[in-house]
Structures are given as C-alpha cells and as structure tokens.
Amino acid sequence: MFKAVVAIAVALSPATTCAFAPSVSGGRASTSVQMGILDDISNAFGGAVQPAGGARKGQIAVVAGATGYIGKSTVRESVRQGYKTIALVRDKSKVESDEGKMLYGTFFEGAEVVECDVCDADKLTETLKDISTEAPGGKIDAVISCLASRSGIKKDAYAIDYQATLNCLESGRAVNARHFVLLSAFCVKNPWLQFQQAKLKLEAALEAQSDMTYSIVRPTAFFKSVSGQLEVVQQGAPFVMFGDGTVTRCNPISEADLATYLIDSITDKSRLNKVINLGGPDEPLTMKKQGEMLFEAVGKEPNFFYAPLWLFDAIIDSLQWVADTFNSETFENAAETGRIGKYYAVEDMLTTDPEEKFGTMTLQEHYNKIAVEGQEYDPYTTMFAKAPTKVDEEEKEKVAA
C-alpha cells in the first residue's frame, strides 16, 4: 500500500524551476523530478546560427553549464549577438560526436567548445587564463554561469550550485574578467530546500566581491518544465494537478527569451550589480489553466485528475522517519526530493511587476508548437520523448527538401 501511494504521488509531483540545470518548473508537473524521486525510492527499497558581428567583435563570453537546458540556448544567443563564445563542457565528445550533434543540433554552431571540469578550480583558472590571452586587452568580457545540480539534494547542490559556480567566479576574478552573469532561481526568495540555500550562499559570495560587476537573474519557470504532460495527454491520459488546480500560479519564460536576457545583461547598465526576478509575458497561469491550454493545443477535450496535496506529507514523513531511524542517506535524499516536489506544488512562481516580465513567446504559442513538432529531447526533463536518431535526422532532411 505504501509503495502504491509513493508511486502515485511521485507521478504527480511537480518539478522544480531551479533545482537542476536543464530541469526546471514552477510548481508544475514535470518528469525529471518524477523520475528522480522514483529512482530514489527504488534505490531506497532496493538551423545554423549566424553571428551578429560588428558590435561585439573580439569580445569573449564564456558560458559554464553549456550543455544544460538553458546553457545551450545561452551559447546560441551569445554567438548570435556576435561574441566570441566559449562553451565550457566536461566532455567534448558528448557535443562533437555524431550522437551529440543530433542531440544538440545547431546550439553550438559558431561557438568554440572547450573541455574543462568546472569542479577542478585550478584547471578552470588555467583554462580561463588561456582564453583571456585571445581577448582584447587580455580580458574576458563576461562569464555566464548556467550551472545547477541535477538532483537538488544537499551533496549535489553544494558541489554544483555553490562550489562549482564559486570556482567560476573565483577563476573569473583571477583573470580579471569584467562581468559575471548568474542564472539563479526565483524560488530562493522563500528558501526551505538545500539547493536554495546553496544558491543563496553563492549569491552572497558574488555580491560580497568587488572585482567583477554582476547580474543575478532569478527566472520563475521554464517552458520545458511545464510541458511534461504533453505526450501522455496526446495519448488520451488525463492532465494531473494538485488540489483544485488553482493552488499555485506561474508565468514561465521560454529558454530563448531567457537566454536573450542573460546575454543582454552583459552590457545593460540598468542590470549592473542587481538581483532580478524574471518571468515571461503571460498573465498568472494556474495549473488548471495550463491544462486547458495544453488540451486546446492538442485538439482534445479537457480531462483532469485531481491529486490531494497530503500525499506529499505522507511520503516525506515516512521517508524521513526511515532516514532518521536508520541514519540512511538514501532515504534522506528521497525525502529531500519529495520536499522539492511539494515546494513547487504549493509555491507561486510568478512575477507581476511589468519590469520583471520579459520576452515575446507565450506558453500557448509554445504548446501549439510542440503539439505539432513534438518536444525537443532532453534526457533530464522528459520521460516520454525519445533521443534523436540518424533515421530521425534523415526524415527531417527529406521533409525540409
């Protein structure tokens, strides 16, 4: 019975907007956290981009977390705006192999892919020193960090959201980089999760130093993370939500719009040394409204399943009891992942100030697009989409021809 309840609540749990680099949400159903919780529970129980040119010629922008969901869009936007763009990746083969090219498409075209483990502080500083020798005056114009932990549990959060990102900051300072753009998260405004504490600790370190100017951007929710139910809805399953579907509201922002904002922050003086909350152009969207929009996009009659919020408490309390009783790190991690799910089931990810809303693409436009074209594959944010294959690419080329 317990495992059945766990499975139900996990399947319905919202993903986070800020826990993971490619995986985000704003209190909405998303598959990365669902799969993460399932894994934890299971373990516990046994088109080419052309540079804009001219204005940014010679200026160097370094993107850390380049293969992440927002990272790769940020790389593409940096190239589009004319920066000499350096994409830091842990393993170049994952990007430059045939499989990587199918997975990432044109995101890295025009960028220089540099292999570097940002968890290795000394190696990172050496890499940035080499990169800075190619910059006018020997100075990197900007370091943009799109790093975030995959799981959100304490160990990962402090290793990536804090320490690896701090490495990027300290290495940037060591080579006299001019500006630091941090992709943070809206959810840190009300922190009661480990990864939020890690992000806030990093923000404090960035604000405390004076060697580099900075812009801290805290987005609400990403389109990909509020699209996790597309495939199941297309297959005739109901749209799942918590409570009556109006418990939380959000205004998500598209990855392209967010990437534009991040790169614009390099030169926009109004964002200098500022912490900025950022949402998309939509008015407040409840989860029920999102479901209605999704059904409209796929051309089906609305069909909803309402799940009670108490499922989270039942699961979290049970897992935490086992963790405390048996001093189990596995169960502790599972409980924390459950807390992440609950957070986004009860907290708004919403900006209403016009100055905190940005972009042109609405969520309905996004739903209409993916209902026809399908979702971009991302192994960390979708359970149902498939990785592209050579056959898929050949079919696309035939259609394009």
Q: Could you give the CA distance from residue 285 to residue 398 in angstroms, rounded to a whole number?
A: 38
List, as one string, the DSSP characters of 195-232.
HHHHHHHHHHHHHH--SSEEEEEEE--BTGGG-TTHHH
Looking at residue 225, what is its pLDDT?
Answer: 85
Q: Please, where are the H alpha helices in 97-254?
A: 98-104, 121-132, 154-156, 165-174, 194-208, 230-234
Looking at residue 31, what is its pLDDT?
Answer: 34
H/E segment holding residue 75: helix 69-80
Looking at residue 229, what is its pLDDT?
Answer: 93
Provide φ and ψ at 241, rounded to 5°.
-145, 165
Looking at residue 375, what is its pLDDT?
Answer: 86
Rounded to a whole number of angstroms, the CA Rg of the chain reads 21
Looking at residue 1, what is its pLDDT?
Answer: 42
Q: Residue 293 is encoded by which pair of tokens?
A: 């929009």
**8 Å CB contact between 217 and 180:** no
**8 Å CB contact between 313 and 302:** no
Map tokens 């108490």 to a residue.
310
Q: Could you give the CA distance from residue 210 to residue 114 in angstroms, rounded to a whole number?
A: 27
Q: Parallel, antiparallel, or unpaired: how do β-strands 249-250 and 285-286 relate?
A: antiparallel
Residue 121: exposed, middle, or buried by beta-carbon count in 10 A (0-12, 13-18, 19+)? middle
Looking at residue 295, what is its pLDDT?
Answer: 98
Looking at residue 78, what is its pLDDT?
Answer: 98
Domains of the chain: 1-401 (3.40.50.720)
pLDDT in tens, the chain (401 residues): 444 434 444 444 444 344 333 333 333 333 333 434 434 444 444 444 444 445 677 899 999 999 999 999 999 999 999 999 999 999 999 898 988 888 888 899 999 999 999 999 999 999 999 999 988 888 999 999 999 998 999 999 999 999 999 999 999 999 999 999 999 999 999 999 999 999 999 999 999 999 999 999 999 999 988 999 999 999 999 999 999 999 999 999 999 999 999 999 999 999 999 999 999 999 999 999 999 999 999 999 999 999 999 999 999 999 999 999 999 999 999 999 999 999 999 999 999 999 999 999 999 999 999 999 998 765 554 444 454 445 454 544 443 44
